[in-house]
A and B are shown apart, each in its own frame.
Chain A
Amino acid sequence: MKMKHVIVDLKGQAKSFFRIKSNIFWTIAFPLFLILVFGAIFSNMGDSTTTLYVQDLDEGPGSTAFLEALNQTEAIELKFIDADEDIDQYIKDNSLTCVMVIPSNFSEAFVANSTATVAIDMRLDDTVSTSSVVRNIVSAVVNNFNLGMSGGTEHIQVDSDSIVQEHFTYLDFFIPGIIGMTIMTTCVFGMQGTISRFRAAGIFRKLATTPMRPFEWLLSRMIWLLFISLLTLVVIMVFGMLAFGMNMTINPEALLLIVCGSAMFSALGMIIARFVKNEETASAAANAITFPMMFLSGTFFEMSMMPEYLQSVAQVLPLTYLSQGLRDAMVYDNMDGAYSNLLVVAIIAVIFVVVAVLVTKWEED
């Protein structure tokens, strides 16, 4: 192998790359655009409260105390409906999904030694994910009230807290996913597009008549795509820190994940381009492979939000391990997780690169 050939190709790529405006857009501007959009949508996620509409038909001391207790949870925002409104019609007219009706005899339950039982009327749309949250909170407050009224002592308390440290936001979760996704799209489409274009332009047939060997060319392309991946990483991180004050660190584990991820997806692009020779079909094939990965590998949302069968699918997608590894290394400081994901990414990268080198040739049979 001659490094001179690799350097010649790297120089050519560098000049060409920065002269094509769409390259800058897709590798740098587009990820930033995604961060801006998702950042704007989800930047308050975690602090958000669920709205519960309340029609208080009692308006006595009991309902006041109960609503005050609900308010103190800070997990529910209460909005009030006039007592004289027809609640069914109101729900229909305003498309409400979480409504609580406090009956007019609610305060009677607070009279000493009362044996009366009152029922709070909950109208919840169970197709909405927040319904179960509201139900649980209301139930918890009701239990507390019941306990207090029966004179019981609370022996056991449950303190729940997020497993993610409090200062992490949705963007801290999201940005490593975006870095992983950008590495995937940059490398797969970069390699597949280049190979398809060069094949159509006769550049491979020309290169085959020079002393450059396919392995030298592949190495040069992979080095270049790694450089672009690192450049994207730096741009996204700087932007995330300046625009959203995100918490993230670069460490050797994250860098190794990026090196292996870039090699893995570059090789995948080569394999696609090798077996799908028509330029347009190859692009469609690359889309067909990367799009599901983008959405199923936990780039945008926690995988736990997906149905179990989709979570099983995600387990065989390479991007899952890259994104999760980057999160472990850069955000959660979970080095055991980072190493196990790195191992998976490295093994897939080696397999893909070996296959790509074996199937890539310039001369025809």
Chain B
Amino acid sequence: MSETVIDVKGLVKNYGDLHAVQGVDLEVKAGEVYSILGPNGAGKTTTVEIMECLRLKTSGEVRILGLDIDKGQKEIRRRIGVLPQAFNAFDYLTVKENIDYFGDLFDKRISADGLIKAVQLEDKRNVWFVNLSGGLKQRVGVAISMVNDPEIIFLDEPTTGLDPKARREVWKVIQDLKAQNKTVILTTHYMEEAEVLSDRVAIMDGGRFIAMGTPRQIIDQYGAGSICVVKAPNDAATKGVKDSGMQYEITNGDLCVKLDDNRSLAKLVNLLSAGEASYGEMLVKGSTLEDVFLKLTGKKLAEREGQ
């Protein structure tokens, strides 16, 4: 069994009357990619910045690599790597110079060339940071976070603001870290990102974890199962589904029918083939973490109901 490298119990962080983190428990094993998922203002960054020794906690226990956060900050800093949220390195230093700058601050470091290769920036080695695209800048940031050969790497929203292609380039770098058996703590508000990259996920909202586990476990536990979307149904098709007793809702004129079990899809197809029922097309969707989040927080569902 892997060793526990992060152990958080009852973490609380208050800013005056604002309760940013309200009693969070978290346990991360060595070699895991653990994502903390949630919307802006959920408390993700505050939680990880306490673990990174960047913020003081109000109460609770935090142990990183077995060290108490209140006593072992110097040692913890030496053994972790951090990519802060919205990080930009020095604009007028090259990729290599930026990596060397941060590397030279540590007694033990990895060579810049090794890191440049790891994040696949060999052809940008001598390019000023200011002249890189957003995705490339984040790859430099990840390289800088690895410069002291850390045991845990914290990546705080590393793909925010990037286009889909650049986001996938950063994913590749994170997947490579996982392949090297690094422990990665990833905060993101992209559900797909957490689903693709993470071994385990904690969904955060309002300063609390509202669900934790592997993406599959969370989807199975909290997801709505599969849904069949029937596009452009006529009145007969809609009446048929309504009379069948199947759970459904109408979204933008489409019928979204919940498939409770293996027989539900066949039953639905029969209904839509009978009598005068007709429709445009039909597609089946499995639940995602996004659906789980909507279900658990009710926020977007409430918006939809209000329309």
Contacts and interface: CB of A to CB of B under 8 A. Distances in A.
Interface of A: 4-5, 8-9, 11-12, 15-16, 19-20, 201-203, 205-212, 362-365
Interface string B105-141: 1110000000000000000000010000000000000
A8 B105 contact: yes
Given A8-B105, A12-B101, A363-B55, A210 B77 contact: yes
A4 B77 CA distance: 18
A203 B87 contact: yes
B278 interface: no
A208 to B, nearest CB: 6
A15 B87 CA distance: 20
Given A203-B88, A206-B84, A211-B77, 9 more contacts: A11-B101, A12-B101, A19-B128, A201-B86, A209-B52, A209-B53, A210-B77, A212-B105, A362-B54
Among B84, B85, B148, residue most surrounded by chain A Cβ atoms (within 10 Å):
B84
Interface stretch (B91-99, B171-179, B188-196, B282-290): B91-99
Given A8-B101, A363-B54, A206 B82 contact: yes
Contact of B92 (A8, A20, A209): A20
**Chain B interface extent, by class:** 20 to 34
Contacts of B55: 363-365
Contacts of A201: 86-89
A10 to B, nearest CB: 11
Contact of B54 (A12, A15, A19, A364): A364
A159 to B, nearest CB: 60
A209 B91 contact: no
B80 to A, nearest CB: 7
A210 B105 contact: yes
Interface of B: 49, 52-56, 74, 77-78, 80-93, 97, 101-102, 104-107, 128, 144, 148
B interface secondary structure, majority = loop
Given A15-B93, A202-B86, A205-B84, A210 B54 contact: no
A266 B159 CA distance: 36
A4 B104 contact: yes
Contacts, number: 80
A327 B90 CA distance: 38
A208 B77 CA distance: 8
Nearest to B74: A211
A268 B144 CA distance: 31
B53 A208 contact: yes
Contacts of B52: 209
A5 B101 CA distance: 9
Contacts of B88: 201-203
Nearest to B15: A365
A216 to B, nearest CB: 9
A12 B105 contact: no
18 contacts: A5-B105, A8-B104, A11-B101, A12-B97, A16-B91, A16-B92, A201-B88, A205-B82, A206-B83, A206-B102, A209-B53, A209-B81, A210-B105, A210-B148, A211-B78, A211-B105, A362-B54, A364-B56
Nearest to B128: A19
Contacts of B93: 12, 15-16
Given A206-B144, A210-B77, A12 B90 contact: yes
A209 B101 contact: no
Contact of A209 (B56, B77, B85, B104): B77
A9 B101 CA distance: 7
A9 B80 CA distance: 21
A217 to B, nearest CB: 10
A190 B84 CA distance: 24
Nearest to A19: B92
Nearest to A11: B101
A365 B13 CA distance: 10
Given A209-B54, A210-B77, A210-B106, A15 B97 contact: yes
Nearest to A18: B92
A243 to B, nearest CB: 31
Contacts of B84: 202, 205-206, 209
Contacts of B91: 16
Among A11, A20, A206, residue most surrounded by chain B Cβ atoms (within 10 Å):
A206
Contact of A211 (B54, B81, B106): B106
Given A211-B77, A363-B54, A365-B56, A206 B87 contact: yes
A202 B52 CA distance: 14
A16 B90 contact: yes
A262 B81 CA distance: 35
A197 B222 CA distance: 43
Nearest to B86: A202
A298 B189 CA distance: 56
B19 to A, nearest CB: 16
A5 B78 CA distance: 15
Contacts of B83: 206
B298 to A, nearest CB: 32
